[in-house]
A and B are shown apart, each in its own frame.
Chain A
Amino acid sequence: MVSKEEILEGLAKAVVEGDEVKSEELAKKSLEMGIDPYEALMQGCNKGMAKVSDLYECKEMFVPEILLSADAMYAAIDILKPHLKIDASAKKPAKIVIGVAQGDIHDIGKNLVKMMLEVAGFILIDVGKDVPVDTFVKKAEEEDADLVTISALMTTSMMYMEPVIKKLKEKNHKAKVVVGGAPINSDFAKKIGAAGYGKDAVEAVKVAKSLTGA
Chain B
Amino acid sequence: MIKVTISNMNKELEIDKINYSLLDILNEGGIEIESICGSKGKCGKCKVIVKNPESVNEITLEEKKSLSEEEIKKGFRLSCLVNLNNNTIIEIPDSSLQKQLRILCEGRSNKILIDPIIKSELIKVKKPLLGNEKSIVDLINEINKEIISVDYPTLKELSNKIEYGLDIKVVRYGNEIIGISEIEKNIYGAAIDIGTTTVVIYLFDLEKGKLVDIESVLNPQVRYGEDVVSRITFSMKNGVEVTNKVIVDEINLMINRLCNRNNISNKSIYEITVVGNTAMHHIFLNINPKTLSFSPFTPILSKSINLKSRELGININPSGNIHVLPIVSGFVGADTIGVLIATEMYKNPEISLAVDIGTNGELVLGNKDKMVSCSCAAGPALEGGHLKFGMRASTGAIESLYIEEDTFNTFYKTINNGKPKGICGSGIIDIVSEMLRVGLLDPSGKIRAHHNERIRKDPLNGQKEFVIEWGDNTEIKKDIVITASDIREIQLAKGAIMTGINILLEKSNITIAQIENLYLAGAFGNFIDIKNAIRIGLLPNIPLDKIISVGNAAGEGAKISLLSRERRMEEDLINKKIGYIELAAEKNFNGEFVMSLNFPKFD
Contact = CB atoms under 8 A, between A and B. Distances in A.
A58 B484 contact: yes
Interface string B478-518: 00000111011001000000000000000000000000000
Nearest to A104: B295
Given A155-B38, A155-B225, A156-B229, 12 more contacts: A57-B462, A58-B464, A59-B483, A61-B446, A64-B595, A65-B444, A153-B377, A155-B233, A156-B232, A156-B294, A182-B379, A183-B229
B594 interface: yes
A183 to B, nearest CB: 7
A127 interface: no
A182 B445 CA distance: 20
A115 interface: no
Interface residues of B, number: 42
Given A58-B462, A102-B294, A108-B593, A155 B230 contact: yes
Interface residues of A, number: 31
Contact of B463 (A59, A62, A155, A190): A59
Contacts of B445: 62
Nearest to B445: A62
Interface of A: 57-65, 67, 102-108, 111, 130, 153-157, 182-183, 185-188, 190
Contacts of A185: 40-42, 61-62
A157 B294 contact: yes
B9 interface: no
Contact of B594 (A59, A104, A107, A108): A108
Interface of B: 38, 40-42, 60-62, 65, 81, 225, 229-230, 232-233, 236, 293-295, 377, 379, 444-446, 461-464, 483-485, 487-488, 491, 582, 584-585, 590, 593-595, 597-598
Contacts of A62: 444-446, 488, 491, 597
A155 B294 CA distance: 10
A60 to B, nearest CB: 6
Contact of B293 (A63, A64, A103, A182): A103
Contacts of A107: 590
Given A58-B461, A155-B38, A186 B61 contact: yes
8 contacts: A59-B488, A60-B464, A64-B594, A105-B585, A153-B377, A154-B293, A186-B65, A187-B61
A187 B488 CA distance: 24
Contacts of A157: 293-294
Contacts of B488: 59, 62
B42 A130 contact: no
B462 A190 contact: no
Lowest 10 CB-CB distances: which A-B pairs, in order? A103-B294, A59-B484, A156-B293, A58-B462, A105-B584, A155-B233, A187-B62, A186-B61, A185-B62, A58-B463
Contacts of B595: 64
Given A105-B584, A155-B38, A155-B229, A60 B446 contact: yes
Contact of A187 (B38, B81, B294, B485): B81
Interface centre among A64, A130, A153 (most CB of B within 10 A): A64
A183 B40 contact: yes
Contacts of B444: 62, 64-65
Given A102-B294, A156-B233, A108 B41 contact: no
B446 A108 contact: no
